[in-house]
Structure 1
Amino acid sequence: MAWSTSIRSRPVHPIYRSELQQAAYNHGFRKENGEADGWLYFRSDEGVPGEIALASGNEEGGAPWFLAVEHAGVAAKLRDEFPAALVEPVPGQFRGAFAFSDQAEMRQALSRAFHLARALPAFPLSQFEADVASLGDTEVERITRERIGQAYFRNALLDYWNSKCPLTGISERALLRASHIVPWARCRSDEERLDVFNGLLLAAHWDAAFDAGLVSFDDEGKALIKPDLDPAVIYLLAFQQISPLPLSDAHRHQMAWHRKHFGFE
């Protein structure tokens, strides 16, 4: 069904206002930011960047349920993950708008919007810089700095990849590793070290193989393996059972370094 975001200029029905407010609050957007033309506006109270707007679509309220997002990176990722929900026109300053026939689907997209905004580069980097601002350049302080940065990087990857390995589907956090594409020590800046697009969230065995340069990925996200790789390792990694990685252009740029460094091209 095709829907439009051109909502009549009317107050939101109290019942649906409450449901939209609860949805926003439960998924990280706890700061109300006004109402206009049938939309309710919210921001995160944690400093996560980007405003979102919610609305219910018909005369009586209820379905379709609309979500609009201001953050360009979040909008781009949601377009990939919820292509059937994309609608026009996009209201005001927002970069993407989506319509859902079911409120649960809207809440799922709302949750993704929050986690993606928390993962994308500006937010983890700003938190990291605030935490390490008082540190100097002694060996102990450099180790502390890296430990703090690695923790922010892992959390960003958990947010971006929805807390599961995109190759295996493993979601047990104890078995997930935050894999840098360009390693921490070789990054040119803290911005690159904390960049979610310089990382993959991989199950431990895939992380070990990737970090050692036994495997890499092409621009389509397909796994590449060294020709002399032990058959037992090939069996363990189960290459024939994995789907290609969903890589962005920013991932591809970093992955080109990995392929070149480990002799895949």
Structure 2
Amino acid sequence: MTMPSDAVLPPPVPSQGAAAWIDIRQAAYRNGFHKGLHQPVIHDGWYLLRSATTPFQVHVAAYGEVGPWVLSFSEPRIDTTILPGTEYTGPMPGQSGREVTSLAELGEALSRIYHFATVELPPSAYQEFLDATLAMPETTEAERVAIVRTAQGIFRQHLDRYWNQACAITGLQDRGLLRASHIKPWAASSDYEKVDVHNGLLLSALWDAAFDQGLISFSDEGGLLVSPKLSQRAIDVLTYGRTITVPMTDGHAPYLRDHRSRHGFGDDHD
């Protein structure tokens, strides 16, 4: 099955024969993803590949017994352009996708991803979440709540560490007054984004309330933006007349743009 490199493949359908899974299983086993290969785990046409040495997960879809194949994973720190194949932008379970046309390319892609996950990159909050919830059932409401609480706990731990257990604006360290605030709302975030430390600010309660209501936001560089809905008295109380700048990184930028867009701050603050 040959397609132009810029074509968007349709949603994957796993091959009905055993050959497709055998090839994927062999590529996975040889390149670090050898956990649970005795029985394929398939979600909406994607084979789930796992490792015993890292919670990192990769999904692979086969478009026939001789390919092409598509890999999908959630880790923006991995530059997909260093992987063999071409970019895949169709429907997929992860945030990033790569299409390969040979088993050699499939194995090489898995090998590079495994190397990054185990050697190059420190474990992410998302990997920690996957590890903590892998065996947790989610058939009842109580079980789903348990998974949500696990995610929120991991998010708070990583946010505390990132911001040195202090308000990103005031430096306040009284834990009872600090809130782990999502920049992009929880309900609108993917599983990766829900626990991504760059999708959060550790803020004291008053600043958190202003940010959550969209009365303030920040530029990509961390400069304070104030909504006209906020009174001058409130501005004075919050800032004491100081210029407020929060140390942001490139990782925060897409979340900040989402926040500004949701609350009407426009696009002239990048």
TM-score in terms of structure 1 length: 0.52
Contact 2:217 2:226 in 1 (8 A): yes
Provide closer, same or farther for how the CA distance between residues 121 and 262 of structure 1 changes in structure 2, counting only shifts above 3 A.
farther
Please name the residue that 1:129 is paired with.
Answer: 130
CA–CA distance in 2 between the matches of 1:171 and 1:221? Answer: 20
- Summarize the alignment of residues 54-133 of structure 1 with structure 2, pairs less than 5 Å apart: 122-132=123-133, 133=135
Contact 1:178 1:201 in 2 (8 A): yes
Please name the residue that 1:139 is paired with.
Answer: 141
Tell me the SS of whatever aligns to 2:220. Answer: coil
Please name the residue that 1:205 is paired with.
Answer: 206
Contact 2:136 2:143 in 1 (8 A): no
**AA matched with 1:192:** E
1:184 Cα deviation after fit: 1.1
1:121 Cα deviation after fit: 8.0
CA–CA distance in 2 between the matches of 1:242 and 1:129? Answer: 40
Query: Could you list the runs of 4 or more consecutive aligned residues of structure 1 that deviate by over 3 angstroms after TM superposition?
Result: 120-123
Contact 1:121 1:194 in 2 (8 A): no
1:238 Cα deviation after fit: 1.5
Contact 1:125 1:191 in 2 (8 A): yes
CA–CA distance in 2 between the matches of 1:201 and 1:236? Answer: 19
CA–CA distance in 1 between the matches of 2:220 and 2:128? Answer: 31
Provide closer, same or farther for how the CA distance between residues 143 and 121 of structure 1 changes in structure 2, counting only shifts above 3 A.
farther
- Summarize the alignment of residues 1-265 of structure 1 with structure 2, pairs less than 5 Å apart: 122-132=123-133, 133-187=135-189, 189-238=190-239, 240-265=241-266
Contact 1:178 1:202 in 2 (8 A): yes
**AA matched with 1:262:** H
CA–CA distance in 2 between the matches of 1:213 and 1:121? Answer: 33
1:147 Cα deviation after fit: 1.2
Unaligned runs of 5+ in 2: 1-52, 55-76, 78-120
**AA matched with 2:219:** D
Tell me the SS of whatever aligns to 1:129. Answer: helix
Tell me the SS of whatever aligns to 2:125. Answer: helix
1:246 Cα deviation after fit: 0.7
CA–CA distance in 2 between the matches of 1:222 and 1:139? Answer: 41
Contact 2:198 2:252 in 1 (8 A): yes
Paired-residue identity, %: 45
Deviations 1:10-29 (A, max 9, x none): xxxxxxxxxxxxxxxxxxxx
